[in-house]
Chain A
Amino acid sequence: MTGLRAGIRLKHSAVLARMLLVFFRRRVLRAGVFKSASVRVFSGVCAALLLAAMCTGSYFFLRPLTDETAVWDLLFNTATASLLLWIQIAFLLVKVLFINAEGMLQLSYQLPVTNRERSAAFLMYEAAMTAVVAAAGLVSLAVSALILLGPSAAGYIVASIVLPAALTYLILSALYQVLTRLWILVGLSRMAGLLNVLVLFALLAYYSTRMTGIVQDISGAYLRKETAYNWVTSVSWAWNTHGPWLTTAGALLAAALLLVLTFALAPNQHIRQSRFLKLPGSVRLRRVLGPYDWCLLRSAQTVAAGAMSLALFAYLLLAKPSVTPLWGLAALSFGGLYQFTATQQLRLLPGAQEPAWRVYLRLIRAQLVLLAVFAVPAAALAVGLRPEQLAQGATALAACAGGAVMTTCISIVFPAEKDNPFSVFLGLSVVLVTAGVALIGLGLLNLPPWAVVVSLLAAAAAFVWYAIQGIHSSEARRRNVQGTVGSEVRRRGRTPDAGRRGDDAARPHVLDGH
């Protein structure tokens, strides 16, 4: 069997990778509004039409430039620069998905696969996801190039898309394992996933700030009719300098080495990740804080949000004198995105039933406590160093509180059920698009400041009202109160009584046929 001597049966890894893809298709892509088949079909048709439109537009745009080799070089080099960003985003998304899906990982432990086969399966799955993202971003350019340039476009596609994508992905995979080993060495193994995601996020943020400069360098070289070397387009440069065969061989060798490195560095056993962390000194606050507060304050997501906030605060403090660093605390509200789902167990306790508004108050209080924990020392530092930004700081803190209201609402309306963070991402996207459109509208209307404040307060009130309604509906569904969402009731109705007991409803299902 393939790879048996090396301890890896690729067929087994492929079967497991296929299961992971089914998980993505059925669980992740059916979150929220995508539960509806008609919405999925509509979205699929829209995506296909968009893709066709992009390919057609790209074809007609590029047709007059068919003979301009320098333009094709420019296009594919800039495509490589954006490809690297997309691959980082895809890699990060897949890692975030699995950090929050411990149960999903545990499924694989019952299967007859070795740890290396499991690692290989995850590598295959992530590679497939990354390939889809890369293909979605660059398919229009690749299709147009193939139609207009014929087989000679293959060189561009391989040198500027396929090889850079594969190498970037493998570098990220190896880096992820190096980081994991590092966290294990310093005794932070149970936070390794979270810390890795933070590092990858920092890397992504850094690259995105550099990307404009990289694209400008590539464009500048084109305008000056020069062949300038840029590290992002190394493969393409090698392709033109050393020829396709040598470059392909070199890239494949590098890919093989990275693959071996990734497998060699992968921990032999799964490292269980902490969901909650007992913070030092927190026991003293036992009398002041309640379970809802602890759920947020001890959550690993909150730790990640806190780390991001501190990094942003430090960046704004040191590098942006015109902006109050208190805006950095806005990242804290991200910790609230999982709060409603994480506190579900508290509402299931006997005697824990209480009105929806009280549950909401508990949720929002936790967010405000978190904000206060960071805001008090941060505000003291910011005002001490930049007293002239006092008013701006107050606005920033008010906005952070508004962010808490918003994320609490998202956590309720788009709960991260069954370890699926994509429902949260979906909710976040919907809110950001709505907020963006609303802000553009406010800008266009050019309202006076008091009217803007009133509008924002009204929006916050709407978020609060919608969140309380969401809690009410969620609790009503859980307690099977009639009159909740029809599709949910019908769907759940199948489990207790699937209508397969024959004609006698009183007949116990277990006796059916016996």
Chain B
Amino acid sequence: MSLLSVKDVSYSYDGIVNVLLDVSFDVEEGAITGLVGPNGSGKSTLIKNIFDLVKLQSGTIHIGGHEHARPEAKQQAIYLSSNDYLPEFLTAREYITMMARLFDVTVDHGKALALFREFSMEGRYDDLVEDYSHGMRKKTQLVSALVVRPPLIVIDETLNGIDLEALHLAEKEFRRVREEGGSILLCTHDFSVLERLADRTVFLDLGHVVYDEPTGDLVAEHGSVAEMVFDYLETSQR
């Protein structure tokens, strides 16, 4: 069953150039789906549409079976943005508590503290986010998603800027989310991460879905996800 369903979504900022054109894909339950594409391919606009941050112009988006702008849909998915915007005036504990309240779940501070320790941030859980480095903020975003753990986690390049040790740990946690039946839409430029994690990869270019296939099949056909992307970008198909 698909947890996220995007059907025929088109979007234009100026009414002339289509940033997205008839984009359709699904994210299945218990699966990690990779979303790749060069800058300007429409990835961020697609994510903004999914989270109703821009008004849907055509097509439909459903999250957990609910129309994407409905409160019920909001409960199903968490968005980790590409920037490190976090409320600097809150502590991580307060931020995670607030997120848990918004998602109507009981917060497990023990689990959050354990993740903080694993992500090399021991003793910083009650510090103001203001005092965190860029990498720490990114890791705090990840921890909040892993503690709240809604059915769908959408990660928009959040992994950029974290160290290798944290990346390794994050990958381990993402696999655990998948094993527990959760789904992840992972938007990243790190193709090796996709090859290691993603069950399926959606390749977006100039607002079109170029490929939407199991990652294993793409790797078998092209040699690697990177080869697949670069081969396409160099062809006249574009």
- A interface residues, Cβ below 8 angstroms from B: 1, 4, 7-9, 11-12, 15-16, 18-19, 22-23, 26-27, 103, 106-107, 109-115, 117, 268-270, 418, 494-495, 498, 500, 509-514
A109 touches B53 (CB 8 A): yes
Can you list 16 A-B contacts (CB < 8 A)?
A: A7-B70, A7-B71, A9-B71, A18-B98, A27-B88, A106-B83, A106-B85, A114-B71, A494-B131, A495-B132, A495-B133, A500-B122, A510-B165, A512-B120, A513-B122, A514-B165
CA distance A500 to B125 in the complex (A): 13
A269 touches B53 (CB 8 A): yes
* Chain A residues within an 8 Å CB radius of B90: 19, 22, 26
- B interface residues, Cβ below 8 angstroms from A: 51-55, 69-71, 74-75, 77-81, 83, 85-90, 94, 98-99, 101-103, 117, 120, 122-124, 127-128, 131-133, 150, 163, 165
CA distance A117 to B71 in the complex (A): 9
CA distance A112 to B120 in the complex (A): 28
Nearest-neighbor residue (CB-CB) of A8 within chain B: B71
Of A9, A19, A110, the most chain B CB neighbours within 10 A belong to: A110
Given contacts A107-B87, A115-B52, 17 further A-B contacts (CB under 8 A): A12-B71, A15-B102, A19-B87, A23-B87, A26-B90, A106-B85, A109-B53, A109-B79, A109-B81, A110-B78, A110-B80, A112-B78, A114-B52, A269-B54, A498-B124, A511-B120, A514-B165
* Chain A residues within an 8 Å CB radius of B89: 22-23, 26-27
**B contact face: mostly helix, strand, loop, or mixed:** loop
CA distance A495 to B98 in the complex (A): 24
* Chain B residues within an 8 Å CB radius of A16: 102
CA distance A429 to B31 in the complex (A): 57
The 5 closest A-B pairs by CB, nearest first: A26-B89, A112-B74, A510-B120, A500-B123, A27-B89
CB distance from B93 to the nearest CB of A (A): 13
Nearest-neighbor residue (CB-CB) of B54 within chain A: A269
CA distance A466 to B220 in the complex (A): 68
CB distance from B34 to the nearest CB of A (A): 21
Cβ contact of A110, chosen from B52, B71, B85, B117, cutoff 8 A: B85
Nearest-neighbor residue (CB-CB) of A500 within chain B: B123
* Chain A residues within an 8 Å CB radius of B98: 15, 18-19
* Chain B residues within an 8 Å CB radius of A114: 52, 69-71, 74
B85 touches A111 (CB 8 A): no
* Chain B residues within an 8 Å CB radius of A268: 55
Nearest-neighbor residue (CB-CB) of A1 within chain B: B71
Nearest-neighbor residue (CB-CB) of B128 within chain A: A26
Of A494, A495, A509, the most chain B CB neighbours within 10 A belong to: A495
CB distance from B209 to the nearest CB of A (A): 24
Given A4-B71, A9-B71, A114-B69, A107 and B122 contact (CB-CB distance below 8 Å):
no
* Chain B residues within an 8 Å CB radius of A495: 131-133
CA distance A22 to B103 in the complex (A): 20
CB distance from A509 to the nearest CB of B (A): 6
CA distance A495 to B128 in the complex (A): 11
B120 touches A509 (CB 8 A): yes
Given A112-B74, A418-B88, A12 and B122 contact (CB-CB distance below 8 Å):
no
* Chain A residues within an 8 Å CB radius of B85: 103, 106-107, 110
CA distance A22 to B90 in the complex (A): 8
CA distance A19 to B85 in the complex (A): 14
A510 touches B102 (CB 8 A): no
CB distance from B76 to the nearest CB of A (A): 8
* Chain B residues within an 8 Å CB radius of A8: 71
CA distance A115 to B48 in the complex (A): 13
CB distance from B211 to the nearest CB of A (A): 29
A111 touches B117 (CB 8 A): no
A110 touches B81 (CB 8 A): yes
A512 touches B122 (CB 8 A): yes
* Chain B residues within an 8 Å CB radius of A18: 98
* Chain A residues within an 8 Å CB radius of B99: 111
CA distance A103 to B54 in the complex (A): 17
Nearest-neighbor residue (CB-CB) of A105 within chain B: B85
B53 touches A513 (CB 8 A): no
Given A15-B98, A107-B85, A498-B124, A112 and B52 contact (CB-CB distance below 8 Å):
no
CA distance A113 to B69 in the complex (A): 9
